[in-house]
Amino acid sequence: MTADTVVGTGLVRHGGRKFSDYLIFNTDHKVIGIQYLVLAFVFFLFGGALAGLIRAQLATPDAQLLTGSSYNVTLTLHGTVMIFLWIIPAFVGAANYVVPLMIGANDMAFPRLNAVSFWLLVPGGLLMLVSFAVGGAESGWTAYPPLSVTTPIGQTLWALALQFIGFSSIFGAINFLVTIFNLRAPGMGLTQMPLLAWAVAATSIIILLGTPVLSGALLMLILQRWLGAQFFTPAGGGNPLLWQNLFWFYSHPAVYIMILPGFGIISEVLPIFARKPIFGYKLIAFSSMAIAVFGFLVWAHHMFTSGMDPFLRVPFMVTSMIIAVPTGVKIFSWLATIWAGKLRFTTSMMFGLAFISMFVIGGLSGIFLASVPIDIHVQDTYFVVAHLHYVLFGGSVMSIFAGLYLWFPKITGRMLDERLGRLHFWLTFMGFNLTFFPQHLAGLQGMPRRVYTYPPELWALNLLSSIGAFLMAIAVLPFLYNALRSLVAGKVAGPNPWRAFGLEWTVSSPPPVHNFPTPPVVEGDPYGYGERPLPGTTGVAAPAPGMAGGE
């Protein structure tokens, strides 16, 4: 089922043959994947610049760079951009590019809908920038009313922007589910699917169940702001906690929208560079699905101090603790995957290993937060800020980079420079820990989140954070330089530079417009290291040993 739109004419195109094909409504999943990735990366730089401003303000207790509303606008935009315009779309972009190739499909199930999803993200992103230009939203990415109904117009544009992004996400999820369940190459049963496909399927289920609730809540917020509806304000019979329930019903699962694809990427990276099959395939696949279901039963852990029903805190505490189990299972399975392997420390692998190491810290601090009595102290403090960055940067962003270094050769046909890659990795890794580890302590010692000034006792910890942030900012430079230079001057990659299993490595790099000139042959799951010969590069038949893998 390919979209044989007339190629190269008018405003609808299919395939990325020339530069302008990437700037237009294009129905090729590979073009769309790149469109997503590039747009998301631009927003990453923007969100990072905002983070830089925040850390500059907080480098000393009483700085005057950003105070009051302007500080609040900055942190709101930073959070919103990083979540909705960087991490989520970056994963959608990566999955868009590789999942159809990995399952042997020629495109996504609905190529035009796929393009629509991307082109909904663009006005969403633009509106977000416009909201900033007119003063911005200033109630945090969580936008709790009543504050979010009293703030200026920027908040309305913020909500409208998220509506666009939400629909983009919903359409994308439908597309991924249909693609993964209907378009697999003949012979690829569910248990031969790459784990990334499982992860994306689980993510899509979460999006389908959760995002409509966010859309509804945003609509209510917009109605309250425009038409004076009183959903969230007690004076008119509304309830501020209603928003919190609706928002977190989406936004806790959204954490998994932001991490499950990362789990999927790590499950691809580790086997390739450990030269071993993934350990515990079924349990990993199953735990993604378990998370997709359980993820909807924990949201009120964000509301333990909100005055919610006191008894209900207990079941929510138990579910929030239990959801750590499927995550723990994955971590142990990954450790077993590298055990007795033949590890190759490519940059992709280093980001992959760092993911395990950092994510586990975020997971452990999550258990603290799940415990109601401990949460009473640490809720809404820098401890939470540290926790969420260990999950979303230490986890999600590390996995995005692991995936970028893995698939860059597939996408561009060129290798990235490994030395620059290592520089990027080490600066990121050190900067990240320096930035976020001290924040646990600042939170425990009394620093609430979202403040532009703090008591002088907390200065040392904050200064460390700010120095770390500076390192992280510098870390981007070698990556940018590397990516741009390698595009033109990188070593030619060939179809399978990593000698990897997986159907995406059986086609040329970059792949032909319609992916598989001849239908691919599936010999098993893509983790046959040490078990069977690598398939050839044509996708027709298993080659004689030695044909595959040209570095």
Partner 1 sequence: MSHPTNHRPAGSNVPVFDNTGKMAAIIIGVTAVVAGSVMGAANPFLSNATSSQGAQIDTLFSLFVGIATAIFIIVQGFLLFSIVRFARAPEDEEDGVPLRGNTKLEVFWTAVPALIVVILSVLSYRVLADIERPHPDQMVVEVTGRQYAWEFYYPDYDLKTAELHIPLGRQVLLKITSADVNHAFWVPQMRIKKDAVGGKITTVNITATAPGVYPIVCAELCGAGHAVMRSQVVVEAEPTFQIWVQAQLGAKQRAAAMPPDPKTLGRQLYNQYGCNACHKLADAAAVGVVGPALDGIGSRAADIVPGQSAEEYIRTAIIRPMDFITPNYPPVMPGDYAQRMSQADLEALVQYLLEQK
Question: What residues line the site for Cu ion (CB under 5 A)?
Answer: 252
Residue nearer to partner 1 on the CB measure, 60 or 306: 306
Q: CB under 5 to 8 A by kind: which of partner 1, Cu ion, none does 353 bind?
A: partner 1
Helix, strand or coil, per DSSP, at residue 303: coil
| CB of residue 62 to partner 1, shortest distance in Å | 8
Task: Give the Cβ contact number of residue 478 at 10 Å.
Answer: 20
Structure tokens at 524: 């098993």
| CB of residue 475 to Cu ion, shortest distance in Å | 28
Residue nearer to partner 1 on the CB measure, 114 or 148: 148
| CB of residue 440 to partner 1, shortest distance in Å | 7
Q: CB under 5 to 8 A by kind: which of Cu ion, partner 1, none does 1 bind?
A: none
Q: CB under 5 to 8 A by kind: which of Cu ion, partner 1, none does 549 bind?
A: partner 1
Helix, strand or coil, per DSSP, at residue 3: coil
Residue nearer to Cu ion on the CB measure, 176 or 452: 452
| CB of residue 538 to partner 1, shortest distance in Å | 16
| CB of residue 224 to partner 1, shortest distance in Å | 14
Contact 98, 407 (CB under 8 A): yes
- Could you give the CA distance from residue 377 to residue 365 in angstroms, rounded to a whole number? 13
**Could you tell me how far CA 158 lies from the centroid of its own chain?**
20
Structure tokens at 193: 């699917």
Residue nearer to Cu ion on the CB measure, 248 or 407: 248
Residue nearer to Cu ion on the CB measure, 110 or 256: 256
Q: CB under 5 to 8 A by kind: which of Cu ion, partner 1, none does 17 bind?
A: none
- Could you give the CA distance from residue 364 to residue 276 in angstroms, rounded to a whole number? 28
DSSP codes of every residue in 32-46: HHHHHHHHHHHHHHH
| CB of residue 48 to partner 1, shortest distance in Å | 22
Residue nearer to partner 1 on the CB measure, 33 or 395: 395
Contact 149, 232 (CB under 8 A): yes
Residue nearer to partner 1 on the CB measure, 6 or 541: 541
Task: Give the Cβ contact number of residue 2 at 10 Å.
Answer: 16
Residue nearer to partner 1 on the CB measure, 212 or 528: 528
Label residue 549 left, alpha or beta by phi (over 0 means left) and psi (-120 to 50 means alpha).
Answer: left
| CB of residue 301 to Cu ion, shortest distance in Å | 6
Element holding 26 (H helix, E strand): strand 25-26
Structure tokens at 350: 């280093």
- Could you give the CA distance from residue 372 to residue 305 in angstroms, rounded to a whole number? 8
Q: CB under 5 to 8 A by kind: which of Cu ion, partner 1, none does 235 bind?
A: partner 1
Q: Give long-range contacts, CB 8 A cutoff, 24+ apart: 232-235.
A: 232/145, 232/146, 232/149, 233/145, 233/146, 233/149
Q: CB under 5 to 8 A by kind: which of partner 1, Cu ion, none does 53 bind?
A: none
Q: CB under 5 to 8 A by kind: which of Cu ion, partner 1, none does 538 bind?
A: none
| CB of residue 55 to partner 1, shortest distance in Å | 15
Q: Give long-range contacts, CB 8 A cutoff, 24+ apart: 334-341.
A: 334/266, 334/267, 334/270, 334/279, 336/279, 336/280, 337/270, 337/271, 337/274, 337/276, 337/277, 337/278, 337/279, 338/270, 338/274, 338/276, 339/279, 340/276, 341/274, 341/275, 341/276
Neighbouring residues of 208: CB distance < 8 A, sequence distance ≥ 6: 170, 173, 174, 177
| CB of residue 498 to partner 1, shortest distance in Å | 11
Q: CB under 5 to 8 A by kind: which of Cu ion, partner 1, none does 548 bind?
A: partner 1
Residue nearer to Cu ion on the CB measure, 315 or 519: 315
Neighbouring residues of 460: CB distance < 8 A, sequence distance ≥ 6: none
Closest C-alpha among 362, 387, 398, 391 to residue 270: 398
| CB of residue 306 to partner 1, shortest distance in Å | 5
Residue nearer to partner 1 on the CB measure, 51 or 285: 285
Q: CB under 5 to 8 A by kind: which of partner 1, Cu ion, none does 276 bind?
A: partner 1
Q: CB under 5 to 8 A by kind: which of partner 1, Cu ion, none does 252 bind?
A: Cu ion
| CB of residue 216 to Cu ion, shortest distance in Å | 19
Residue nearer to Cu ion on the CB measure, 124 or 366: 366
Closest C-alpha among 317, 203, 258 to residue 88: 258
Q: CB under 5 to 8 A by kind: which of Cu ion, partner 1, none does 517 bind?
A: none
